């Protein structure tokens, strides 16, 4: 019994360290933050405070995996070192202030087409997201960052 409790305690301690997996599950959510600052998310997040909130200063890139349909409100708010986000074509909506105060966000890699992007419901207070350079999976060059909503013709490389 003591060995089992000791092993469980070690596992809990390892999972709480950034860059050592930092795995958590909630509402089918799985996430990890690697040593380079890439936060990878699968499953949909719902709740008041995202489980990675204490690591938000360490997050430099976010990769949301295919199958995620919603990016929650305030999900990445105050991730002040976030530079890029990869959003799959399965995303249907982005909550209010999901990318609020992400001052360094400059690139969004989207797994769908420009017309797919236009179908995503993007709530208010996501200016950093909508003004970043947007690169689509279906074309060859990124849309200009100033357009807000991109035109067709960009591609992920």
139 burial (CB, 10 Å; 0-12 / 13-18 / 19+) is: middle
* Mean pLDDT to the nearest integer, 91-115: 96
CB 84 within 8 A of CB 109: yes
CB 40 within 8 A of CB 63: yes
Look at residue 90 in the predicted model and tell me its pLDDT.
95
Q: Is the pLDDT of residue 106 over 60?
A: yes
Q: Is the pLDDT of residue 118 over 70?
A: yes
- Please give the Cα distance from 48 to 36 (Å, whole number): 26
- Please give the Cα distance from 125 to 76 (Å, whole number): 12
Look at residue 46 in the predicted model and tell me its pLDDT.
72
Q: What is the pTM assigned to this prediction?
A: 0.71
Q: Where are the beta strands (DSSP E) in 52-106?
A: 61-64, 70-71, 84-87, 93-94
How confident is the model over 68-98, as pLDDT tens digits? 999 999 999 999 999 999 999 999 999 999 9
A 10 A CB-CB count for 36 gives 9
* Mean pLDDT to the nearest integer, 119-127: 96
Alpha helices (H) in the chain, listed in sequence order: 2-15, 114-119, 127-131
Secondary structure percentages of the chain, helix, strand, coil, to 5: 20, 20, 55
Q: Is the pLDDT of residue 147 over 60?
A: no
Look at residue 154 in the predicted model and tell me its pLDDT.
36
Look at residue 8 in the predicted model and tell me its pLDDT.
45
User: Considering only 94-98, 131-135, 137-141, which range has the smallest mean pLDDT?
Assistant: 137-141
pLDDT grade for 62, boundaries at 50, 70 and 90: very high
93 burial (CB, 10 Å; 0-12 / 13-18 / 19+) is: middle
CB 56 within 8 A of CB 78: yes
How confident is the model over 21-47, as pLDDT tens digits? 333 333 488 999 999 999 999 987 777
């Amino acid at each position: 019994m003591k060995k089992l409790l000791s092993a469980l305690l070690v596992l809990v301690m390892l999972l709480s360290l950034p860059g050592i997996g930092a795995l958590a599950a909630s509402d089918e959510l799985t996430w990890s933050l690697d040593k380079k600052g890439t936060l990878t998310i699968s499953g949909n997040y719902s709740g008041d405070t995202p489980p990675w909130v204490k690591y938000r200063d360490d997050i430099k890139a976010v990769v949301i995996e295919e199958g995620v349909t919603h990016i929650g409100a305030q999900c990445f708010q105050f991730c002040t070192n976030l530079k890029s986000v990869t959003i799959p074509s399965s995303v249907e909506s982005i909550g209010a202030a999901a990318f609020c105060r992400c001052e360094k966000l400059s690139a969004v890699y989207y797994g769908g087409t420009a017309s797919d992007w236009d179908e995503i419901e993007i709530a208010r207070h996501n200016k950093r997201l909508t003004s970043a350079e947007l690169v689509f999976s279906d074309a060859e060059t990124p849309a200009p960052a100033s357009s807000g909503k991109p035109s067709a013709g960009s591609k992920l490389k």
